[in-house]
Chain A
Amino acid sequence: RALCPLVPSAPAALRALPPPVAVGVLHTTRPLHTTQQSLAPVPPLPEKGGEVRHGLIPEEFFQFLYPKTGVTGPYMLGTGLLLYLLSKEIYVINHETAAAACILTVIVYGIKKFGPGVAAFADKLNEEKIASALAMKNEAIQTLQTAIEDEKKEQWRAEGSNYLFDAKRNNIAMLLETNYRERLLMVYNEVKKRLDYQVAMQNLKRQKEQDHMIQWVEKNVVQSITPQQQKESIAKCILDLKALSKSAHAAV
């Protein structure tokens, strides 16, 4: 204990020391955090894709030509291009053209009729996926919330342990007190027993001495009464009795 006085409060002692030399000096030669972070949170998907007109030409093309040619510019360009291709027979009309026309008609008709239905179905699938993912996320958040609540409750419970320790300390004090008093009583009883024994011994001894002496005195007295004395005492008694009987006769 004397050799290491700091042991009981080591963290506080360590904190009190001066900070080491390397603290505050960043050991880097290149800048950190220059690029944008590419990880979470991931930005959400855009709602709609790029605009496409007639399913084939991006809207940007129309916007590109609008300042110079107005609204009909791209259509004029398309018509002119088509006529040029046809007249120069860069696009040749043959049996494949007829087949393409029929196929395209069927395709366009199919899309116009079933398009919205298929789109709604796909949207529903997407919605379900998103909803399930969202539900998982919310559930995870909820679990963590309840975990936080439980943790706080545990901390509150840990505070109550002080009362528990006080009660336990009281119990132990009472036990010690009880034990001490029991032993005190035992000591008292034992001492009393020993003293009583001594008193009883003395009483017994005196009593025995008394009895013995009385007996001895009686025995000696009886021995000392000789036969002579016995006769004289009996004659005396008879005379006394006669005198008494005379006085008794006289009284009657």
Chain B
Amino acid sequence: LPAAVLLKDTKLMDVKLGQLGTWLAMRDFTPSGILGAMQRGYTRYYNKYINVRKGGLGGISMVLAGYIVLSYMWSYSHVKHDRRRKYH
């Protein structure tokens, strides 16, 4: 009988689609929890792409691309006025 892993401890990729709502609700949303999650994400990215012997271009270019996309999203309301068609 395989040990039943609690829903709380499963990783995101192993969560079934129907359980997504419950899984999200069980996450830790306290400030320290959020900070911890950000720290974990940063450490994972850093150790995978930057903290290596022969680092490549992808490490920083992905960060820059993400920044470009984010800043486009923030300035969309201003860019909207340059559209060629008003209705789509």
Contact = CB atoms under 8 A, between A and B. Distances in A.
Contacts of A56: 58, 61-62, 65
Size bracket of the A interface: 20 to 34
A92 B58 CA distance: 26
A126 B53 contact: yes
Given A88-B88, A89-B84, A92-B82, A52 B53 contact: no
A173 B52 CA distance: 75
Contact of A45 (B51, B57, B59): B51
B81 to A, nearest CB: 9
16 contacts: A45-B51, A46-B52, A47-B53, A49-B52, A52-B57, A55-B57, A56-B58, A56-B61, A56-B62, A56-B65, A88-B88, A90-B76, A91-B72, A92-B82, A115-B57, A126-B53
Q: Is the interface of B mostly helix, strand, loop or mixed?
A: helix
Contacts of B61: 52, 55-56
B11 interface: no
A48 interface: yes
Interface of A: 45-52, 55-56, 58, 87-94, 96, 111, 115, 119, 123, 126
Contacts of A115: 57
A49 B84 CA distance: 43
A94 B72 CA distance: 13
A56 B49 CA distance: 12
A94 B57 CA distance: 28
A48 B56 contact: yes
A50 B80 contact: no
A47 B54 CA distance: 6
B28 to A, nearest CB: 21
Contact of B88 (A49, A51, A89, A111): A89
Nearest to A115: B57
B64 to A, nearest CB: 9
B79 A49 contact: no
Contact of B56 (A52, A87, A91): A52
